């Protein structure tokens, strides 16, 4: 009898293959993952019992307080525009133009390219004050001058990274390394998506290149991948392969997707992997996007004077077009629109990278559209609840770049992490305000210094989230966008 | 007994030798200690009355003990009070009275105790005669001294400041002055008198609570220009033309933790803009009658000046909370689940506005077919819905009478719908409506004038409507606080493009060089 029992146990154990083990584990782990996903839904928890199946990952989670900015348009000028030519007026720097950089600026410092003792480079833009608020804006951005009173400038920005990719990652994900969710992903995770036919987070890139940090700057990191940014093309099909293949009509397409989703749903019930939910919702979204995306991305219905205001021709795929599309997207309830424009890295090694030529051209290409976007949002009553952020990933040095100790053919500035300017307008920030100052030569932020994490904390605050409470559990600890730092810049809040 | 007096005297002499932290440390216990003699003496008086009328049977020994502790605690309170007064900042006159009244309390308490005690009574039988007068005087003086003490701490007139009518009139008091608690936006900053319109309102909110006619902390009054110039016990508080050497500004700029920081920690603080304005006024010579336009405004002060024309954003602590709509401080019950479900079945998006509140945002962004016949589904959630987006739907005026029942409505989007002037009338009574989007509707000037009746409205959007410039001008006249946003037409866009181009040619010319 005893032997029989042993034999039975043995057989039972033999039957347990590795596959069984993994499957059980998968179920267990999936359940843990799901549990944590649900647990993070409500901040106060218990009052509502966890729903059985979070069939809509795009449902809104609870903002901790009433949001001022319900949508964001984040305009990232990739490569980092020079604050000293555009907003941070330093008449003192003009006096030092062409003189050797003081030694205390160089001691213990590392630059991307500057070597030895560089010369100081005076501001190249012609500065004047604009609007009631007296904002300093140079003649590189003549159109922006007309909307100066809508804007809050943050002039004491600083960062930790002096190379493009890590600095861009820091700016958008709160960490210079890969693997963290981006600001847009956090926003959609927190506030959900409004328009059921459009992704909550859309990315539009211009300038001929992708950002140096690649698609990770709009990635979802450890958040379920349903929250990552969806990049749309601005010429041709907005989303590739979203239209039906020839010979397949929409009904067949629909039943195909329904069948696939049914199988996916069964798999989800079996293994509880939240990524399956992502897949299901993406299939459904893609199907709906077949109709909605071409419609929202079509600017041919816009009156000519609106196109003129942005300075676009239909289908030209420029940054200006992206600004117009950004307006159309937020108008249609897209939560987060991320614009990237490449080509602001002005080292002075070539004409296109020269302050007096390349930077000037980039300003001319983008200035009218940005000002037009603010005006357009305002008159539609959208600017009140839409936050527009404009900025690069770091600043530029008050010194002229001297790559390899040589005199460069054009005027250029190296990467600089101790001072740069970003600006914000709309949803919950002050109008016609300037926060923070740099020293007389624009080298260090000296008053009201604002770290990248402070900026992120502020943006989350405007969207209704306490950046310290807004977390996602991953690998055993709660993560947040601002990691362990950042404080809300209260003075810029309206 | 003698030993206790000796001890008190000994302690006092130590403190007097070093008027220092120790003195103030013990001094600040005065407000705590004074309540002991007050209680004991009232108790003694009560018992004495009770005994007189035969209602209370109590032994002399008990009363004697109560009187003894009254006298001791009154003496200690006097000592602490004296030490506290060394810190200064009190009205000399009231302080003097208060001191002698306090000493009187202690003295009469000792007398009452002494004559009550068997020892003295045996030696001097007549002494009992003074017992009741002494106790009575001590009790009355307690009350008077207590009142003066209150006046010293809280300022004269504190007790009766809120006397309601008709007693106020009967007592011959002046009508109550409205306290300034908020700086009103200045319509035309350039024409504002710097001292009167900018500096004094600031001081009235942040300084004069402690530096006024009745409560002159540091012997300083800040409630009028003359007193401001006069300064306090340490001399003038500002040097005209030199803000950096001005005590008033230095105090404000000290770290909040510093004992000398002003306004004291816990009180509302001056904002950066206010400090900049104060410094600017002093630097410009602290004139009493100059207007903003008369003074030299450098670049740094312009944002601060510009902030004066806005509603105060950071006059309250926390900054962000001040522009918060009052509706958000309401408490409403949880929304009805069935009502929520019926909204969702119409494809309306229903989002909670924030946790720990039951307010809802409802949006028809996914329901372009939403129409008048369906609008009644919103009514069961009348309390909860504060943000409503019905832009680009098929609703008309008929819907607005139903929408007017959403009494907590704060933001309302009606852009590109069929609403007209007639429908807008329904919205005039909404008590919290701040945002109204009428872009692309048939609203005319007549309807816009109705908007002026909406008391809480702050932003109204009228681009692509039948509203004319004259209509907008009229509304702005009627409601200068209201932000009427119209949009650009073709001519305005052309002007915008021209303005930008003019400047660009200069840059281009510079580049060619």
SS (H, E, C) B161-185: CCCCCCHHHHCCCCCCCCCCCCCCC
Q: Which of B341, B493, B494, B499 to mutate to test the interface with A (most CBs of A within 10 A)?
A: B493
Interface touch B502/A142, C-beta < 8 Å: yes
How many residues are recorded in chain B? 513
Using alpha carbons, select from B439, B358, B351 the residue that is nearest to residue A463. Answer: B351
pLDDT (0 to 100) of residue A158: 95
Minimal Cβ distance to B500: which of A197, A368, A430: A368
Tell me if A293 sits within 8 A of A232, measured CB to CB: yes
The pTM for the full model equals 0.66
Q: Distance of alpha carbon B365 from its chain centroid, rounded? A: 41
Tell me if A135 sits within 8 A of A424, measured CB to CB: no
Judge if ipTM > 0.85.
no
Pick the residue from chain A with its C-alpha nearest to B347.
Answer: A196
How many residues are recorded in chain A? 494
Interface touch A464/B354, C-beta < 8 Å: yes
**DSSP track, A377-428:** HHHTT-TTTEEEEEE-SSEEEEEEP-GGGPPPSS--EEEESS-EEEEEEETT
Dist CA B354 CA B357 (whole Å): 6
Distance from CA of B372 to the nearest CA of A (A): 22
pLDDT (0 to 100) of residue B18: 53
Interface touch B488/A129, C-beta < 8 Å: no
pLDDT (0 to 100) of residue B478: 87
- The verdict on B322 touching A (C-beta cutoff 8 Å) is no
**DSSP track, A36-92:** HHHHTT-SS-TTSPPPS----TTS----SS--S-SEEEEEEEET---HHHHT---HH
Distance from CA of A10 to the nearest CA of B (A): 54
Q: Which domains are assigned to chain B?
A: 2-154 (no CATH), 189-323 (no CATH), 340-491 (3.80.10.10)
pLDDT (0 to 100) of residue B355: 81
Distances (CA, A) of A479 to A32, A181, A220, A273, B354: 17, 10, 13, 20, 21
Rg over CA atoms, chain A: 25
Dist CA B119 CA B122 (whole Å): 6
pLDDT digits (tens, 9 = 90+) for B356-413: 788 999 999 999 999 999 999 999 999 999 999 999 999 999 999 999 999 999 999 9
Interface touch B415/A308, C-beta < 8 Å: no
Dist CA A427 CA B411 (whole Å): 14
B463-B465-B467 Cα angle (round to 5) = 95
Distance from CA of A192 to the nearest CA of B (A): 9
Minimal Cβ distance to A379: which of B313, B487, B506: B487
Two structure tokens written together for A153: 């400038």
Distances (CA, A) of A128 to A135, A142, A148, A317, B306: 8, 10, 12, 32, 17
Distance from CA of A195 to the nearest CA of B (A): 6
Two structure tokens written together for B427: 């919205």
Pick the residue from chain A with its C-alpha nearest to B490.
Answer: A305
Dist CA B472 CA B479 (whole Å): 10
Beta pairing, strands A135-138 & A127-130: antiparallel
Pick the residue from chain A with its C-alpha nearest to B486.
Answer: A379
B positions 340-379 inside 8 Å of A (CB): 347, 349, 351-357, 359, 363, 365-366
pLDDT (0 to 100) of residue A480: 92
β partners of residue A479: A472
- Local structure of B259: helix, strand or coil: coil
Distance from CA of B221 to the nearest CA of A (A): 30
For residues A379-391, one letter each, b for 16 or more C-beta atoms within 10 angstroms of the residue's C-beta and e for the rest, the string is: bbbbbbbbbbbbb
Distances (CA, A) of A212 to A41, A75, A182, A208, A412: 33, 15, 15, 12, 20
Minimal Cβ distance to A64: which of B271, B354, B501: B354
Tell me if A194 sits within 8 A of A229, measured CB to CB: no
For residues A120-159, one letter each, b for 16 or more C-beta atoms within 10 angstroms of the residue's C-beta and e for the rest, the string is: bbbbbbebeebbebbbbbbbbbbbbbbbbbbbbbbbbbbb
Interface touch A379/B459, C-beta < 8 Å: no
- Consecutive H or E run containing A445: strand A445-447
> What are the residues whose beta carbons fall under 8 Å from the beta carbon of B141, sequence distance 6 or more?
B101, B102, B104, B105, B108
pLDDT (0 to 100) of residue B252: 87
Strands of B366-410, DSSP E = 385-389
- Local structure of A432: helix, strand or coil: coil
Interface touch B352/A60, C-beta < 8 Å: yes
| Tokens 């009741």, residue located | B132
Distance from CA of B326 to the nearest CA of A (A): 12
pLDDT (0 to 100) of residue A69: 94
Dist CA B213 CA B91 (whole Å): 10
In the predicted model, residues of chain B with pLDDT beneath 70 are: 1-20, 174-182, 310-323, 502-513
Cβ pairs A/B, distance under 8 A: 152
- Local structure of B142: helix, strand or coil: helix
β partners of residue A138: A127
pLDDT in tens, chain A (494 residues): 556 666 666 666 666 555 555 455 444 444 444 444 444 443 333 333 333 335 567 777 778 888 999 999 999 999 999 999 999 999 999 999 999 999 888 888 888 899 889 999 999 999 999 988 889 999 999 999 999 999 999 999 999 999 999 999 999 999 999 999 999 999 999 998 888 889 999 999 998 888 888 899 999 999 988 899 988 876 667 777 777 777 888 888 888 889 999 999 999 999 888 888 888 888 888 888 887 888 888 888 889 999 999 998 776 778 999 999 999 999 999 999 999 999 999 999 999 899 999 999 999 999 999 999 999 999 999 999 999 999 999 999 999 999 888 888 899 999 999 999 999 999 999 999 999 999 999 999 998 999 999 999 999 999 999 998 899 999 888 999 998 899 999 999 98
Interface touch A332/B310, C-beta < 8 Å: no
pLDDT (0 to 100) of residue A29: 46
Q: What are phi and psi of A147, to 5 degrees?
A: -120, 20
Tell me if A415 sits within 8 A of A163, measured CB to CB: yes
The torsion region of residue B340 among left (phi > 0), alpha (psi -120 to 50) and beta comes to alpha
> What are the residues whose beta carbons fall under 8 Å from the beta carbon of A407, sequence distance 6 or more?
none
Interface touch A381/B319, C-beta < 8 Å: no
Q: Which of B187, B302, B385 to mutate to test the interface with A (most CBs of A within 10 A)?
A: B302
> What are the residues whose beta carbons fall under 8 Å from the beta carbon of B221, sequence distance 6 or more?
B208, B211, B212, B213, B227, B228, B230
pLDDT (0 to 100) of residue A252: 87
Dist CA B469 CA B492 (whole Å): 13
- Consecutive H or E run containing A27: helix A18-39
First-residue to last-residue Cα distance in chain B: 100
The 10 Å Cβ neighbour count of residue A361 is 15
B positions 395-424 inside 8 Å of A (CB): 413, 415
The 10 Å Cβ neighbour count of residue A117 is 14
Interface touch A371/B500, C-beta < 8 Å: yes
Torsion over CA: B3, B5, B10, B11 (sign): positive
Percent of chain B beyond pLDDT 70?
89
């Amino acid at each position: 009898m005893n032997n029989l029992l042993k034999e039975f146990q043995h057989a039972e154990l033999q039957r347990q293959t590795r596959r069984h083990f993994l499957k059980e584990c998968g179920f267990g782990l999936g359940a843990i993952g799901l549990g944590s996903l649900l647990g993070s839904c409500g901040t106060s928890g218990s009052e509502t019992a966890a729903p059985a199946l979070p069939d809509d990952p795009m449902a809104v989670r609870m903002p901790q307080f009433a949001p001022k900015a319900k949508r964001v348009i984040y305009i990232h000028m990739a490569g980092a525009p020079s604050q000293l030519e555009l907003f941070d007026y330093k008449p003192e720097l003009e006096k030092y133009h062409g003189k050797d950089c003081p030694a205390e600026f160089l001691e213990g410092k590392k630059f991307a390219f500057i070597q030895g003792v560089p010369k100081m480079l005076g501001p190249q833009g012609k500065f004047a004050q604009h609007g009631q608020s007296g904002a300093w804006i140079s003649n590189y951005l003549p159109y922006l001058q007309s909307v100066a009173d809508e804007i809050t400038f943050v002039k004491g920005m600083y960062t930790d990274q002096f190379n493009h990719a890590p600095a861009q990652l820091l700016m958008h994900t709160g960490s210079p390394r890969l693997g963290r969710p981006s600001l847009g992903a956090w926003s959609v995770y927190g506030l959900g998506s409004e328009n059921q036919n459009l992704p909550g987070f859309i990315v539009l890139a211009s300038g001929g290149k992708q950002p140096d940090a690649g698609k990770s700057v709009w990635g979802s990191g450890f958040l379920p991948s349903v929250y990552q940014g969806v990049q749309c093309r601005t010429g041709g099909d907005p989303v590739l392969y979203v239209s039906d293949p020839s010979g397949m009509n929409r009904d067949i397409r629909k039943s195909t997707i329904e069948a696939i989703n049914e199988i996916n749903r069964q798999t989800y019930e079996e293994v509880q992997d939240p990524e399956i939910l992502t897949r299901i919702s993406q299939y459904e979204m893609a199907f709906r996007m077949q109709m909605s995306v071409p419609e929202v991305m079509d600017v041919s219905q816009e009156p000519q004077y609106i196109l003129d205001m942005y300075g676009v021709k239909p289908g030209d795929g420029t940054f200006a077009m992206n600004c117009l599309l950004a307006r159309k997207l937020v108008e249609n309830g897209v939560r987060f629109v991320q614009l990237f424009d490449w080509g602001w890295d002005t080292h002075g090694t070539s004409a296109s990278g020269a302050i007096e030529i390349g930077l000037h051209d980039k300003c001319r290409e983008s200035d009218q559209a940005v000002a037009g976007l603010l005006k357009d949002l305002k008159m539609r009553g959208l600017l009140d609840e839409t936050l527009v952020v404009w900025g690069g990933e770091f600043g530029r040095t008050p010194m002229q770049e001297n790559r390899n100790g040589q005199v460069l053919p054009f005027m250029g500035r190296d990467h600089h992490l101790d001072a740069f300017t970003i600006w914000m307008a709309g949803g919950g920030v002050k109008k016609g305000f300037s926060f923070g100052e740099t020293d007389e030569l624009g080298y260090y932020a000296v008053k009201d210094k604002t770290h990248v994490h402070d900026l992120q904390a502020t943006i989350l605050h405007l969207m209704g989230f306490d950046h310290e409470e807004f977390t996602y559990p991953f690998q055993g600890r709660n993560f947040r966008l601002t990691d362990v730092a950042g404080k809300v810049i209260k003075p810029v809040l309206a | 007994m003698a030993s206790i007096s000796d001890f008190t005297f000994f302690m006092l002499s130590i403190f007097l030798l070093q008027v220092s932290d120790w003195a103030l440390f013990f001094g600040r216990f005065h407000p705590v200690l004074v309540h002991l003699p007050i209680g004991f003496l009232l108790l003694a008086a009560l018992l004495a009355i009770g005994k007189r009328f035969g209602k209370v049977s109590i032994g002399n020994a008990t009363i004697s003990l109560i009187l003894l502790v009254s006298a001791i605690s009154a003496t200690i309170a006097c000592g602490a009070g004296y030490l506290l007064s060394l810190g200064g900042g009190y009205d000399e006159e009231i302080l003097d009275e208060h001191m002698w009244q306090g000493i009187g309390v202690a003295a009469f308490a000792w007398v009452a105790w002494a004559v009550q005690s068997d020892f003295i009574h045996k030696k001097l039988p007549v002494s009992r005669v003074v017992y009741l007068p002494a106790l009575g005087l001590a009790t009355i003086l307690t009350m008077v001294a207590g009142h003066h003490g209150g006046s010293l701490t809280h300022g004269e007139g504190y007790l009766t400041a809120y006397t309601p009518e008709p007693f106020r009139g009967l007592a011959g008091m002046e009508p109550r002055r409205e306290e300034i608690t908020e700086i009103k936006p200045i319509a035309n900053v350039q024409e504002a008198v710097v001292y009167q319109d900018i500096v004094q309102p600031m001081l009235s909110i942040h300084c004069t609570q402690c530096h006024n006619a009745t409560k002159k902390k540091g012997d300083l009054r800040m409630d009028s220009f003359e007193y401001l110039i006069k300064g306090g016990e340490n001399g003038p508080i500002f040097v005209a033309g030199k803000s950096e050497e001005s005590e008033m500004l230095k105090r404000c700029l000290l770290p909040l933790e510093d004992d000398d920081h002003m306004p004291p920690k816990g009180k509302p603080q001056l904002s950066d803009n206010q400090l900049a304005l104060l410094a600017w006024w002093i630097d410009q010579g602290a004139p009493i009658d100059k207007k903003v336009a008369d003074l030299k405004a450098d670049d740094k002060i312009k944002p601060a000046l510009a902030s004066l024309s806005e509603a105060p954003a950071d006059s309250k602590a926390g900054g962000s909370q001040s522009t918060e709509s009052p509706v958000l401080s309401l408490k409403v019950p949880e929304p009805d689940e069935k009502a929520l479900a019926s909204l969702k079945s119409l494809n309306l998006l229903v989002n909670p506005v924030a946790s720990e509140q039951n307010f809802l945002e409802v949006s028809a962004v996914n329901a372009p077919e939403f129409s008048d016949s369906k609008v009644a589904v919103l009514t069961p959630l009348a309390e909860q819905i504060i943000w409503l987006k019905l832009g680009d739907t098929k609703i008309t005026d008929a819907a607005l009478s139903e929408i007017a029942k959403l009494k907590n409505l704060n933001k309302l989007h009606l852009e590109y719908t069929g609403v007209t002037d007639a429908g807008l009338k329904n919205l005039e009574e909404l008590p919290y409506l701040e945002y109204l989007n009428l872009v692309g509707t048939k609203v005319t000037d007549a309807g816009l004038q109705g908007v002026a009746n909406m008391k809480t409205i702050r932003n109204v959007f009228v681009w692509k409507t039948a509203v004319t410039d004259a209509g907008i001008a009229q509304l702005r006249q009627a409601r200068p606080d209201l932000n009427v946003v119209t949009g650009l037409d073709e001519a305005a866009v052309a002007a915008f493009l021209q303005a930008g181009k003019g400047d660009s040619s200069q840059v281009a010319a510079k580049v060619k060089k």
